[in-house]
């Protein structure tokens, strides 16, 4: 298939920008290991369902991982116990009722990936694994809610300090042309460092005095593009961001494998991620959709078998524009 191109241009409305909330931004920032329950209570396949019921009552929990020979093999939930009680089968072992169709998540992944898993499944909890696939925690929607609330409380105080520093950062710097260029090389398959570039770019914008809303939109768009490079590219790619007083231009490029059908790729939920990536909790098929809702202009060009180039623009309104003194023509 030859060159494929799709262009989308519009101006984000005030309401749309407001809908990209600080809570959503934090979901991209917070890592699962910071909000999960550590050292979760576990049972074995041989544990009697009656003992499991007593355990749930005494510990006030609604689910527990099932461990055999130090390996996670299943999960038992309150729903399983209800089914067991209906059958009057409390003498049976956990292995008879536990679920072995597991969704897990790594502690190093951002909370947003856990939210995607919760949204696409009926599970109420996710076992959390370390880099060696050993159980280190359990994650529930309640964990995420509490983690976000705590982060918002801390963030309020840090935001006041950040705003003051940003307002004085470039007072003594003069430049004929206001432009800052940031460049990041992204490695294919490097899930451990996924989100590093987007976090650095967002921090740079805040230090330049950008509004939290602009930093938020940019951070989410770059994060999704960054993860697409990690998941789908052949040899990784490059993210280049140019920050000017009137706009932020973002260019993401790779050298393969390219997108065969852009119209299909833009559909919510469509993904070409392999099973391994899906098991890691990525590849939900919402990357391009989330990018599109955060930017004012999006141009996607791809040659199947050769590579893809994604160009994004976020326009700055008068109240968002950087003041004089933004660094000139520096590249990192």
According to DSSP, the residues that pair with 105 across neighbouring strands are: 128
Give the pLDDT mean for 93-121. Answer: 93
Instruction: Please give the pLDDT value at position 46.
Output: 97
Q: Where are the CATH 3.10.580.10 domain residues in the chain?
A: 34-143
Residue bearing the bigger pLDDT, 108 or 275 = 108
Q: Is the pLDDT of residue 2 over 50?
A: no
Give the model confidence (pLDDT) of 211-232 as tens digits: 888 999 999 999 999 999 999 9
- Report the share of the chain in percent with pLDDT over 90: 53
Burial environment of residue 134 by CB neighbours within 10 A (0 to 12, 13 to 18, 19 or more): exposed
State mean pLDDT over 116-122.
88
Domain 3-29+177-331 has CATH 2.40.30.10: no
Sequence-distant (6+) residues with CB within 8 A of 14 are none
Structure tokens at 115: 């939210």
Confidence of residue 257 (pLDDT cuts 50, 70, 90): very high
pLDDT of 161:
58
Q: What angle do CA 147, 148, 150 make, to 5 degrees?
A: 65
Pure H helices in the chain? 14-19, 22-29, 32-35, 49-59, 78-86, 111-120, 141-168, 196-207, 212-232, 262-265, 275-279, 287-294
Kindly tell me if the per-residue pLDDT of 3 is higher than 80.
no
> Does domain 34-143 sit in CATH 3.10.580.10?
yes
What does the pLDDT look like over 45-83, one tens digit per residue?
A: 999 999 999 999 999 888 999 999 999 999 999 999 999
**Which residue spans of the chain are classified as CATH 3.30.565.10?**
3-29+177-331
């Amino acid at each position: 298939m030859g060159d494929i191109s799709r262009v989308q241009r519009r101006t984000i409305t005030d309401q749309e920008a407001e809908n990209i909330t600080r809570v959503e931004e934090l979901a991209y920032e917070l890592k699962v290991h910071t909000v999960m329950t550590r050292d979760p209570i576990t049972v074995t396949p041989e544990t009697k369902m009656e003992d499991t019921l007593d355990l749930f009552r005494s510990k006030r929990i609604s689910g527990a991982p099932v461990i055999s020979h130090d390996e996670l093999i299943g999960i038992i939930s309150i729903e399983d116990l209800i089914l067991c009680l209906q059958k009057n089968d409390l003498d049976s072992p956990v292995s008879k009722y536990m679920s072995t169709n597991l969704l897990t998540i790594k502690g190093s992944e951002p909370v947003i990936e856990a939210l995607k898993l919760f949204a696409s499944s009926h599970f109420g909890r996710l076992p959390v694994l370390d880099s060696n696939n050993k159980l280190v925690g359990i994650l529930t929607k309640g964990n995420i809610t509490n983690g976000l609330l705590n982060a918002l409380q801390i963030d309020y105080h840090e935001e006041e300090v950040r705003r003051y520093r940003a307002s004085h950062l470039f007072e003594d710097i003069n430049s004929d042309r206001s432009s800052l260029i940031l460049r990041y090389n992204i490695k294919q398959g490097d899930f451990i460092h996924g989100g590093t570039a987007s976090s650095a770019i967002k921090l740079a914008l805040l230090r330049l005095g950008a509004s939290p809303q602009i930093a938020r939109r940019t951070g989410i768009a770059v994060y999704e593009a960054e993860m697409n490079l990690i998941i789908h590219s052949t040899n990784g790619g490059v993210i280049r961001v140019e920050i000017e007083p009137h706009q932020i231009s973002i260019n993401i490029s790779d050298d393969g494998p390219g997108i065969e059908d852009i119209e299909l790729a833009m559909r919510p939920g469509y993904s070409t991620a392999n099973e391994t990536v899906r098991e890691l909790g990525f590849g939900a098929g919402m990357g391009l959709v989330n990018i599109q809702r955060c930017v004012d202009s999006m141009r996607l060009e791809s040659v199947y078998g050769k590579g893809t180039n994604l160009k994004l623009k976020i326009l700055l309104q008068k109240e968002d524009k950087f003041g004089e003194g933004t660094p000139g023509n520096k590249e990192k």
